[in-house]
Amino acid sequence: MALTGIEIFKKLPKTNCKDCGFPTCLAFAMSLAAGKVELDRCPHVSETAKAELSASSVPPIRQFSIGTGETAVTVGGETVEFRHEKTFVNKPPIALLITTDMTDEEIRGRAAAVKEMVYDRAGATLKLDMIALKDTGNNSDAFRALVKKSRELCNLPMILMSGNMDSLRAGVAELQDEKPLLCSVTPDNAEEMIPLLKESGCPVVARADGYDALCSLVEKLTAAELKDIVLDSGSRKLKKTFEEQVQIRRAALRKAFRPFGYPTITFPCEMTDDPAMEILIAATLAAKYSGIVVISCAAGENVFPLLLSRMNIFTDPQRPMATDPGIYPIGEPDENSPVLITTNFSLTYFIVAGEIESARVPAWLLIMDCEGYSVLTAWSAGKFTPDLISDFVKRTGIESKVARKALTIPGYTAHISGELEDTLKGWEILVGPREASHIPAYLKNYGSS
């Protein structure tokens, strides 16, 4: 369990010597509690205190990365059960399954789909993060060939799934220093697996049926000084898997139960034969506590909504979402198209842009930097004022793109239209609707205004 600043303070020398760079021991303790500095900045802390404090500063759920280089993924590191309590930290990587019994065409199709399914959304990129290779025939030659081919086709981190030790060895050898995630060590193969894990340094999925068996297995691994563990509690039935995810997260956070202080993995690909249902299961487990999610469905109409749902849940609720300021052409606007302005709160942007699109009237949308505030908040905080709007409109260069200089402002800021007309010389100021949902009606009548 993480200690509070006061609890940490009690263990410090309390001399306020400033050697750590902070004015007081209390200030240092507060920064320690917030995870902003390391304890070793205090040269005077006693060995006992050091031991106590470092034990408590172990994160409740271990965080580590899988894979190497730019495509490496970070898993674990979560500190809350509900996102509003702080934020969820590492969105669970979604892995696409490829198996040894697929045809060459299928394998290439899947690798191509992974490459293709990359979606840009206002600053965020949505995509699949890993590929999971499964050795269905327990044949190490076939598996090694699949690993080799997949690596040529796709550069994402890999999960190697096999019940055959030789296959896992072959896969690790093929990938050299890449540190793929090995799947799985079980109570039955632990003796054989542990040496391979120690030698290769690969992270591993620990799979056992039920809480107690999983707990013993993890203890066996940690006794062998293995640390990069991913938990698989065994169930492939949604109701039970859901319970296990909740229980493991709770045990790690509320009870500091060390054997469960690791990210989990779930396999929607093994929980149903229906690709649509697989996506609903994956969305559920990505939201409720799975550290990695393995799916077998590679169709865009399914994967895209899943990626959207994960993006929503893992958005940091502490930070206002902001869109980059600038000119956003919607449809194919020309010099006669209307110009609208709003603030850069992402939700405002999304909704306004969506409504303009649905109106099917091409328009120029100006997004002004208001520190991620919505229209009314930005106006009342003095960030959406006639002066600032005028400066911004001039800076965008929109004037060179349109013949009719008419700017539509949000209906809620109607009262600034007079002043804005004075500061934004040469422009006509129009007052748009208060609610975004009325934008289509407004734009359809725009020509006659």
Partner 1 sequence: MSFEIDKLKYTGKIKEVGFGAKGDVIVGGEDSYPFYMFEGNEGAGVKIAMEVYDRVEDDWAPAAVAPFADVINDPVAWALSNVSKYGADMIALQLAGTDPNGANVGAEEAAALARKVADAVSVPVIVYGSGNVEKDADVLKKVAEACEGRNVLIGPVQEGDFRQIAASCIGYKQLVAATTPIDINLAKQLNILLENLGVSADRMVIDPTTGGLGYGLEYTYSIMERIRIAALVQMDDQLRRPIICDLGKEAWKCKEARGADPDVKFGDPARRGIMIEAVTAVLLLLAGADILVMRHPDSVALVRKYVDLMMN
Residue with tokens 């895209």: 304
CA–CA distance, 325 with 193 (Å, rounded to integer)? 53
Smallest distance, partner 1 to C-beta of residue 260, A = 8
Smallest distance, partner 1 to C-beta of residue 220, A = 12
Smallest distance, partner 1 to C-beta of residue 121, A = 7
End-to-end CA distance of the chain, in Å? Answer: 63
Q: 81-102 in b/e burial notation, b at 16+ Cβ within 10 A?
A: eebeeeebbbbbbbbbbbbbeb
Q: Which two tokens stand for residue 444?
A: 């359809």
Is residue 412 within the footprint of partner 1 (CB under 8 A)?
Answer: no
Among 19, 40, 106, 116, the residue binding partner 1 under the rule CB under 8 A is 116
Is residue 443 within the footprint of partner 1 (CB under 8 A)?
Answer: no
Smallest distance, partner 1 to C-beta of residue 227, A = 17
**CB neighbours of residue 201 within 10 Å:** 11
Residue type, 1: M
Task: Give the sign of the dihedral formed by CA 45, CA 46, CA 52, CA 58.
Answer: positive
Quick one: 169 or 310, whose CB is closer to partner 1?
310
Give, in order, the Cα–Cα distances in Å from 426 to each of 305, 394, 407: 45, 11, 11
Footprint of partner 1 on 72-101 (CB under 8 A): 82-84
Please name the residues in contact with 82: beta carbons below 8 A apart, sequence gap of 6 or more.
none
Is residue 211 within the footprint of partner 1 (CB under 8 A)?
Answer: yes
Which segment (9-17, 48-56, 220-228, 293-301) binds partner 1 by CB under 8 A?
A: 293-301
Footprint of partner 1 on 249-278 (CB under 8 A): 250-251, 254-255, 257-260, 272, 276-277
Is residue 281 within the footprint of partner 1 (CB under 8 A)?
Answer: yes
Smallest distance, partner 1 to C-beta of residue 435, A = 8
Please name the residues in contact with 425: beta carbons below 8 A apart, sequence gap of 6 or more.
none
CA–CA distance, 376 with 370 (Å, rounded to integer)? 11
Backbone angles phi, psi at 119, to 5 degrees: -120, 130
Among 22, 28, 143, 242, the residue binding partner 1 under the rule CB under 8 A is 242
Among 239, 273, 319, 448, the residue binding partner 1 under the rule CB under 8 A is 239
Binding stretches for partner 1 (CB under 8 A): 82-84, 116-119, 121, 211-212, 215, 219, 237-239, 242-243, 246-247, 250-251, 254-255, 257-260, 272, 276-277, 279-281, 283-284, 287-288, 299-306, 308-309, 311-313, 315, 317, 347, 350-351, 354, 357-358, 360, 433, 437-438, 441
